[in-house]
Amino acid sequence: AQKITQTQPGMFVQEKEAVTLDCTYDTSDPSYGLFWYKQPSSGEMIFLIYQGSYDQQNATEGRYSLNFQKARKSANLVISASQLGDSAMYFCAMRTDKGAQKLVFGQGTRLTINP
């Protein structure tokens, strides 16, 4: 069964520090995609970054990077130089069905950036 595990319910980080949010996944499908979404207090789901299972390099998008370790089945999100506006819930998700592109989500990590 496909599953996403986020073991950090909450994290507190000082502004301008880097932060790593953990995500491990479980699937027997050789083809899958991993996503990170941000959910601020306003409630919307904002796409941050994507990593395909066959991608050779770790994905990067601005201050976001994805530390993809396939053998360990982990896909950690790294946010460099954190900002107050980064305070939000962060969800890791995995595409489980290439045909229908269905997603399975983890329970999320609440990140708080302190000034």
Partner 1 sequence: NAGVTQTPKFRILKIGQSMTLQCTQDMNHNYMYWYRQDPGMGLKLIYYSVGAGITDKGEVPNGYNVSRSTTEDFPLRLELAAPSQTSVYFCASSSRFSGTDTQYFGPGTRLTVL
Is position 43 an interface residue for partner 1 (rule: CB under 8 A)?
Answer: yes
Tell me the per-residue interface mask from 23 to 42 with partner 1, x by CB under 8 A, - otherwise.
----------x-x-x-----
For residue 45, the SS3 value is coil
Torsion on CA atoms 70, 64, 31, 25, rounded to nearest 10: 60
CA distances from residue 79 to 24, 32, 49 in whole angstroms, order as listed: 17, 23, 11
Among 28, 41, 56, 101, indicate the residue that binds partner 1 (CB under 8 A). 101
For residue 85, the one-letter residue type is G
Is position 100 an interface residue for partner 1 (rule: CB under 8 A)?
Answer: yes
Is position 105 an interface residue for partner 1 (rule: CB under 8 A)?
Answer: yes
Beta carbons within 8 Å of 73's beta carbon, 6+ residues apart: 24, 25, 26, 27
Nearer of residues 57 and 115 to partner 1, judged by Cβ: 57
Q: From 17-25, 61-69, 75-83, 100-108, give the range in contact with partner 1 by CB under 8 A.
A: 100-108
What is the binding site for partner 1 (CB under 8 A)?
4, 33, 35, 37, 43-45, 47, 50, 52, 91, 93, 95, 98-108
